[in-house]
Amino acid sequence: MVLNAGEQTALIYSRLKADLKIIGTPIPESDIWIAAIAQEHSLPLVTRDIHFTYLPDLKILSW
């Protein structure tokens, strides 16, 4: 299954990017898009990247 970025994804992306800027913890742009798509579809993100923990509403599965 391929999940495309759309208007809702862009809205979530902009909120995440603003939140990260406020707390002073930027992460790579591509990772913000990945997080936005995961949140839009209520999917957990399986990752080892610690910087995703800066996004408190993101469901993370560590492996």
Query: What are the extents of the domains in the chain?
Result: 7-62
Task: Tell me the pTM.
Answer: 0.89
Per DSSP bridges, beta strands 60-62 and 45-47 are parallel
pLDDT of residue 62: 81
Looking at domain 7-62, its CATH class is alpha beta
pLDDT of residue 41: 95
Mean pLDDT of residues grouped by 10 in the chain (63 residues)? 91 96 94 96 94 92 84
Burial 28-52 (b: 16+ CB within 10 A, else e): eeebbbbbbbbbbeeeebebeeeeb
